[in-house]
Structure 1
């Protein structure tokens, strides 16, 4: 049983189990108040699932891509929670959850039957500063995990690659789907994502180079 946390877009927290699926999931679409809501979402998810922290076998963190300030809140929360209960942190690329959800959606299924046959999916999320994050996927593999063929990457709206793919503009990432990707990957013996946040650009605030010289 896993606790999954993602703040790459809005904030989402879920408790999942390989056999039972998504047991509880709560989210907030507010992309500016991650730090204010994440603790409450974790408490609500655990309470709704009737799960004690020590019942968990690990904590899943959505690694982005996402804006620096919001993304680091979820990753820090996941790291802290995992450390506190002595369980491993499991990193998963956030766009993978969007792709997995999209590949089984009715909208994509209908698109599969267009002339020319099925096509892959392009996941797009807001990077702010008039830029977008994108990842391209060719489909699901034999165990149901999304196959990423390109990305994640950052681009201006008119420079996003793979315009031939079925585009999914996501405003949120499901922690439930994120957690189930981790469960399926573990069961299939697949490697997890790198334990590295996908910021894809430098934060807005940089450290000072030192005190400035003051002239008389």
Structure 2
């Protein structure tokens, strides 16, 4: 059976300990994610956080995102944001749209680019940089309706971006362990905006596009999910 562990965001000072200025040349990046709760962060040019704020509430995104964004921008001080990372899910239809819309509106108002990043990549980077356990592992997030969203990773590529070895699927709670077949399981309840920003920074530095502009919705409203695991669609 897979070994389960439950993780909250790791303190950013620990997660950034391996980064150097060369990883983020001249960039200050804002990240916004509403795939689970609401996570917003700004990282400095050396990958260390200027500011981070969030809430684990999976429902109240619209009520809190404005205040959290103001808090992060205030705490970040005089930083000039050059890019905005939008967490693209997997996540519920309504909640995910709120974060993506906020990220795009902020970027549009300042004439800066939006970097689309699958949210599980941020969670995977947290695991890779804080656990010494080698081999593949699964990021598991609650998809509601007694289902999990599961993505399997194994290390990072040459650009420092987590390697996806099995795309995101929806799996019923009762079937999750059988689906993973012994792969190390990491249950994630909240995401680190700082680590999501770091993934985006690495994509920018490498000139890469990590996903398209369409979010990874868990499901559209009023769409039923079949019993077998299915890939989360664009």
Shorter-chain TM-score range: 0.7 to 0.9
Query: Do the aligned residues in 1 keep the contact of 2:85 with 2:196 (CA within 8 Å)?
Result: yes
Partners of 1:61 and 1:84 in 2: how far apart?
A: 15
Among 106, 114, 119, which residue is 2:135 paired with? 119
Q: Deviations over 1:107-166 (max 9, x none)?
A: x31xx2xxxxx2211000011111111100011123321000112111112333333221
Matched, 1:25 2:52: yes
Among 187, 192, 199, which residue is 2:217 paired with? 199
Matched, 1:98 2:123: yes
Residue of structure 2 in register with 1:128 after alignment:
144
Change (3 A) 1:20 1:129: closer
| Structure 1 vs Structure 2 CA RMSD | 1.6
Matched, 1:16 2:43: yes
Among 184, 190, 194, which residue is 1:176 paired with? 194
Residue of structure 2 in register with 1:74 after alignment:
99
- Measured after TM superposition, the shift of residue 20 of structure 1 is 4.3
Query: Do the aligned residues in 2 keep the contact of 1:18 with 1:184 (CA within 8 Å)?
Result: no
Larger radius of gyration: 1
Tell me the matched-pair count.
194
Partners of 1:193 and 1:18 in 2: how far apart?
A: 23
- TM-score when normalising by structure 2: 0.78
Q: Which 4+ stretches in 1 moved above 3 angstroms?
A: none
Q: Deviations over 1:67-91 (max 9, x none)?
A: 1121111011111111111111110
- Measured after TM superposition, the shift of residue 169 of structure 1 is 0.5
Residue of structure 2 in register with 1:158 after alignment:
174
Query: Do the aligned residues in 1 keep the contact of 2:40 with 2:53 (CA within 8 Å)?
Result: yes
Change (3 A) 1:25 1:169: same
2:53 counterpart SS class: strand
2:196 counterpart SS class: helix
Q: Which runs of 5+ in 2 are unaligned?
A: 1-27, 224-234
- Measured after TM superposition, the shift of residue 204 of structure 1 is 3.9
Residue of structure 2 in register with 1:38 after alignment:
65
Q: Which runs of 5+ in 1 are unaligned?
A: 113-117, 206-216
1:51 counterpart SS class: coil
